[in-house]
Structure 1
Amino acid sequence: MILFLLLSIQICRATDLKDFDLSNLTRELDDPYTFTDNEKVVRFNFRGKVGLRDDITTCGDDDCIFQVIYDTEPPLCDCYGVLSTEEPGFFPDDKGIILNYEYRGEYWNRTAELDFKCSKSEKSPFATLISNNRIIIEWNHPQGCPKSKPDPNPDNPNDPNKKKDSKKKLSFGSIMLIIFSVLLVVYFAAGIPLMHFAFKKSGLEMIPFIGFWKCLPGLVIDGVKFCLSPCIKSKGGYTNVKD
């Protein structure tokens, strides 16, 4: 049940592509993103078609978005995804976008996955998997992070959303009160058994330093009176003593 709730929360946190700045990522047909992996040339575009290389005559489909070219003579090209089959998904906690594609050929069905992950700096894309029927490309990029949403009430400190998101910090007084409470609990929790078993005390005598605690109210009252004495006129006074 707990696992189901956690999965539900993650699904609910999935955002929309509109929450991401995906501008200026799609390249021209003849200038796709390109890298080499084990003598295979991978060419892909971000949500855009990939054109054919000069030495390639065909690559499965005109709408191909992922191409894998093999170093043969002549070069062979396989398509792993078609633009029209795009299915977006999202990483948990807004950590990026997952774009899934597929290609259905006459003899082969292939799939492609682009993991466009949130990162502070851009890193070159690379393949984490290339098989006969699947390719996975990981790309870390700042635009993989959701856009910061504008504050609808920037001048309203009573906005409940702000109160929910703001981090509450304990004051110095709260910290000292917590420390004092913990020490007081430890004082009695450890002192009472010690007085009972080690010193064979019973009743109120099991409280450590019981004499001090009995005198404490009187000491407090005397302290208050002493502090207030300069502000209170005394009715009494000195009397002259005649010889």
Structure 2
Amino acid sequence: MEKTTIVSVVLFMTTVMHGESKQCVQNDECSCTFDDGSGKVDLSMLGSKSTSIIRDIFAPDNYAYSFNPCYPFSEGTCANAAGCQIDTARSIYYNIGDSKKVDFSFDGSNVVGAYTAHDGARKSQVTYICDPSASSPTFTVMGETKQSFYEFRISSKYACPDGGSGPGPGPGPIITVSVSISVGWVLTILFLSGTSLYLIAGLLVNKIYRHNSGRELLPNISFWISFPGLVKDGCLFVVGLVRGRGGYGKV
């Protein structure tokens, strides 16, 4: 039985219950592992061991900010910090997150790190956005979005499960497209492709090498002119055989 063309689109949507239950279970201050087996996010390759990956970047609130995941850094009076807010006008530094006081979670699309200052007075939230193509991190510093609460966004391949070698953590639809083409369609495609190649090659040969013009550009023009008559003769011959009148007449 000839197959018909079938296009099946299978959509897998994560249920609300599953989306809420999926977590990135914290291993240490640098990593967490998804409890559904989809992989581990390890930020140790993202953080700097000597400085901060975000350094003195101004936010809309007119304060400068520095931030570094995993490894503590010091700047001004910010000692062993994950995040630091700088009042450049008065040279005052505020610790806005301790690298040892971090809790990782999963918001349904990205891993989120919540950092608390050593005195508990300030907190920073960093959204780690999975971007498999981002070998070098890109970031957005939003600054103090509400009192004593600071936000950052960092895009990196190291925010992806297994450093970008695994699938992204987002729960979006998985779309699988399966196409099955019938034998008839395959033959039609081959015929059209062969005809196109024949015409193009013939036109080029007649134009470039034979210097033909007009309808003589068409390959084997004499054959194609007589082709309808040949088809007619063939049909009459077959009809004659069916009706018992024999084949072609004797000369």
**TM-score, normalized by length of structure 2?**
0.49
Q: Which amino acid aligns with 1:8?
A: M
State which of 14, 19, 23 in structure 2 corresponds to 1:14. 23
Per-residue deviation at 1:133?
Answer: 0.2
Structure-2 residue corresponding to 1:124: 138
| Cα 1:90–1:28 shift into 2, 3 Å | same
| Cα 1:32–1:166 shift into 2, 3 Å | closer
Given that residues 29 and 51 in structure 1 are in contact (C-alpha distance below 8 angstroms), is that contact kept between their aligned partners in structure 2? no
Task: Please give the root-mean-square deviation of Cα atoms over the aligned residues, in Å.
Answer: 3.2
Q: Which amino acid aligns with 2:70?
A: R
State which of 35, 43, 68 in structure 1 corresponds to 2:85. 68
| Cα 1:31–1:10 shift into 2, 3 Å | closer
1:90 aligns with 2:106: yes
Structure-2 residue corresponding to 1:171: 180
State which of 22, 26, 31 in structure 1 corresponds to 2:47. 26
Instruction: Work out the CA distance in 1 between the residues paired with 2:73 and 2:95.
Output: 10
Instruction: Work out the CA distance in 2 between the residues paired with 1:6 and 1:166.
Output: 16
Q: Which runs of 5+ in 2 are unaligned?
A: 1-13, 26-31, 34-39, 168-173, 186-251
Instruction: Work out the CA distance in 2 between the residues paired with 1:64 and 1:23.
Output: 16
Given that residues 49 and 63 in structure 1 are in contact (C-alpha distance below 8 angstroms), is that contact kept between their aligned partners in structure 2? yes
Per-residue deviation at 1:64?
Answer: 2.1
Instruction: Work out the CA distance in 1 between the residues paired with 2:23 and 2:110.
Output: 10
Q: Which amino acid aligns with 1:128?
A: M
Given that residues 65 and 143 in structure 2 are in contact (C-alpha distance below 8 angstroms), is that contact kept between their aligned partners in structure 1? no
Per-residue deviation at 1:104?
Answer: 5.5
Structure-2 residue corresponding to 1:136: 151
Q: Which runs of 5+ in 1 are unaligned?
A: 151-164, 177-243
Given that residues 112 and 134 in structure 1 are in contact (C-alpha distance below 8 angstroms), is that contact kept between their aligned partners in structure 2? yes
Q: Which amino acid aligns with 1:67?
A: C
Count of matched residue positions in the alignment of Structure 1 and Structure 2: 146
Per-residue deviation at 1:29?
Answer: 4.5
Aligned-pair identity (%): 13
Point out which structure has higher relative CO (alpha carbons under 8 A, 6+ apart). Answer: 2
| Cα 1:85–1:7 shift into 2, 3 Å | farther
Structure-1 residue corresponding to 2:222: none
Structure-1 residue corresponding to 2:63: 40
| Cα 1:63–1:23 shift into 2, 3 Å | closer
| Cα 1:15–1:32 shift into 2, 3 Å | closer
Per-residue deviation, residues 199-224 of structure 1 (Å, max 9, x unmatched): xxxxxxxxxxxxxxxxxxxxxxxxxx
- Give the structure with higher Rg (CA): 1
Instruction: Work out the CA distance in 1 between the residues paired with 2:175 and 2:85.
Output: 48
Per-residue deviation at 1:6?
Answer: 3.8
Per-residue deviation at 1:129?
Answer: 4.1
SS in structure 1 at match of 2:178? coil
Given that residues 43 and 50 in structure 1 are in contact (C-alpha distance below 8 angstroms), is that contact kept between their aligned partners in structure 2? no
Larger helix proportion, structure 1 or 2?
1
**TM-score, normalized by length of structure 1?**
0.50
